[in-house]
């Protein structure tokens, strides 16, 4: 399918910010006026959350400030348009990588008021993974990693006196 045609069709069925983000992402890789992609290639391009986040990184101000939206809202909208489940392996792996890059012991060196806020953010990220349908359907993929991270976080919380 010609990308220009895909974008015309998309514009009619999604919020303006989603259409603008799709253009922005595609322009990073393709000539949107001349290139074509198969439906499978379009789906793969837009459902890869790591790439989605990477290609929209410099567009965050427009997404958040001008349209009061978020990367995840844009991602979900694109996935729904493409008849893909946004709670998928790509999003799961992205979140898991981000959470695994957290080292709970680093919170020991933060100022007390920042410690609690940082721990709450990590707990929210863990909860978003644990509440995802993809995680629940594929517990074998990360249950041990998540449990180890939660245990480390609990040790840090006890060490700094947070319940």
User: Per residue in 78-127, pLDDT tens?
Assistant: 999 999 999 999 999 999 999 888 888 888 888 888 988 989 999 999 99
Count of domains forming the chain = 2
User: Per residue in 127-150, pLDDT tens?
Assistant: 999 999 999 999 888 899 899 999
For residues 75 and 12, state if they share a domain: yes
For residues 74 and 138, state if they share a domain: no
For residues 11 and 28, state if they share a domain: yes
- Indicate whether 163 pLDDT > 80: no
pTM, whole model, 2 decimals? 0.85
Tell me which of 81, 113, 128 is where a domain ends. Answer: 81
| Cα 56 from Cα 11, distance rounded (Å) | 18
Strand partners, 2: 36
Tell me which of 43, 61, 81 is where a domain ends. Answer: 81
| Cα 25 from Cα 106, distance rounded (Å) | 35
Residue ranges making up the domain that contains 128: 89-160
For residues 75 and 96, state if they share a domain: no
| Cα 160 from Cα 163, distance rounded (Å) | 9
102: left (phi over 0), alpha (psi -120 to 50) or beta: beta
Q: What is the pLDDT of residue 47?
A: 97
For residues 69 and 113, state if they share a domain: no
Chain centroid offset of residue 19 CA = 18
């Amino acid at each position: 399918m010609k990308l220009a045609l895909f974008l015309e069709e998309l514009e009619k069925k999604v919020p303006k910010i989603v259409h603008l983000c799709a253009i922005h992402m595609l322009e990073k890789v393709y000539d949107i006026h001349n290139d074509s992609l198969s439906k499978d290639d379009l789906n793969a391009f837009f459902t890869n959350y790591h790439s989605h986040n990477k290609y929209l990184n410099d567009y965050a101000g427009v997404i958040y400030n001008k349209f009061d939206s978020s990367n995840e809202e844009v991602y979900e909208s694109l996935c729904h348009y493409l008849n893909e489940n946004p709670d998928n392996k790509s999003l799961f792996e992205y979140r898991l990588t981000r959470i695994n890059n957290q080292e709970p012991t680093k919170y020991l060196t933060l100022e007390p008021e920042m410690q609690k806020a940082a721990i709450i953010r990590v707990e929210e990220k863990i909860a978003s993974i644990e509440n995802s349908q993809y995680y629940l359907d594929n517990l074998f993929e990360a249950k041990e990693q998540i449990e180890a991270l939660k245990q480390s976080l609990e040790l840090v919380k006890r060490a700094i006196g947070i319940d």
